[in-house]
Amino acid sequence: MSPVRIGVMGCGRIGRMHAELISWQVPNAEVAAVYDVVDDASAELAKELGVRQAAEPAEILESDDVDAVAICTSTHTHIDLLVAAADTGKAAFVEKPLALNLADVDRGIAAAEAAGVPVQVGFNRRFDPSHRYVRDRVAAGDLGDVHLVRISSRDPEPPPLMYLDQSGGIFCDMTIHDFDMIRYITGSEVTEVYATGAVLVDDAIGEVGDLDTAVIVCHHENGAISAIDNSRQAVYGYDQRVEAFGSAGMSASENPLTATAVTRTADGAHGPTLPYFFLDRYIPSYLAEWDAFTAMMQGAPSPVTLADGRAPLVIGLAAWRSVHERRPVRTDEIG
């Protein structure tokens, strides 16, 4: 099989990482070209990878040597690029969140459906071996009926304020991964959301209308309850734990450590800390995500569909309404 040729749009933190992984570690894919509105960003990455630098999106979208695009640009640009990809018949990988409002998401879904192009959304945590193990135990029935899902998801440091300002805030930027995970683990849609939060890390986060600390409780169609806690600043590293608890037992994904060594002294035991952030913690999941993408390009169903991209945004918007109105919000109030 010839490699899937991918045009990478957006050469920031995550676009650069995807382009490097595709180039160096994904057997059935290669980067054909890169594009960024900031010329220097794409020039540097094109040089590093020895690939073509596109001067504008059309140079990727209309190119015969590109099979698919990876949309890794700032969130508010995802849907226009997805629609442009669909209009030119290109398959797409789109980073999360799809957009920050449902009208845009639905515009993207309509364009992709009309064109019949395969699309995968970038919810990489579904491909993390430990989180997937928990989900597989649930799906196999090993835990009986699932009653509770509990997620702790804490970043080591807040993103730059400029990023936060256009990110959709904590629920649509950060917790959206956890909203995806609770759907994935339980296999059940969320019906009601109660969210609360605070600004405890950095006042500047509050000044842009955002929160840095939050707790969210979600009710699912099948009766299960999920509880998520988030912080934008865990001083000990990137803390990512998922637990499912059911009538026949529990299954939990623990944090991997940066090493397995331990020091013991008269004062007790001391071990290595957690991986620092997503680029350290989730590389296996990003690689598996690209393997799944290449399988989709061979005809397998999308492993993370546009509908899977839409549902967590509904939950995120419900969470914001819940905070603003200080009440539980049903997801069918949102759309």
Ligand X SMILES: NC(=O)c1ccc[n+]([C@@H]2O[C@H](COP(=O)([O-])OP(=O)(O)OC[C@H]3O[C@@H](n4cnc5c(N)ncnc54)[C@H](O)[C@@H]3O)[C@@H](O)[C@H]2O)c1
State yes or no: residue 101 binds ligand X (CB under 6 A). no
Contact residue for ligand X among 19, 41, 49, 306 (CB under 6 A)? 41
Are 145 and 244 a contacting pair, CB within 8 Å? no
For residues 277 and 157, give the distance between their C-alpha atoms in angstroms, rounded to a whole number: 9
Query: Closest residue (Cβ) to ligand X?
Result: 12
State yes or no: residue 180 binds ligand X (CB under 6 A). no
Identify the H or E element spanning 114: helix 102-115
Contact residue for ligand X among 14, 82, 112, 149 (CB under 6 A)? 14
State yes or no: residue 77 binds ligand X (CB under 6 A). yes
Shortest distance (Å) from residue 280 CB to ligand X: 12
Are 331 and 314 a contacting pair, CB within 8 Å? yes
State yes or no: residue 278 binds ligand X (CB under 6 A). yes
Between 57 and 246, name the residue whose CB sits nearer to ligand X: 57
SS3 content of the chain, % helix, strand, coil (to 5): 40, 25, 35
Token pair of 250, please? 């529990």
What is the length of the chain? Answer: 335
Comparing CA positions, the residue from 161, 153, 186 lying closest to residue 281 is 153
For residues 73 and 170, give the distance between their C-alpha atoms in angstroms, rounded to a whole number: 18
State yes or no: residue 173 binds ligand X (CB under 6 A). yes
State yes or no: residue 73 binds ligand X (CB under 6 A). yes
Comparing CA positions, the residue from 34, 15, 7, 18 lying closest to residue 283 is 18
State yes or no: residue 37 binds ligand X (CB under 6 A). yes
Q: Which stretch binds ligand X (CB under 6 A): 9-17, 220-228, 269-277, 306-314?
A: 9-17
Between 75 and 331, name the residue whose CB sits nearer to ligand X: 75
Q: Which residues bind ligand X (CB under 6 A)?
A: 9-15, 35-38, 41, 72-75, 77, 95-96, 122, 124, 163, 173, 278
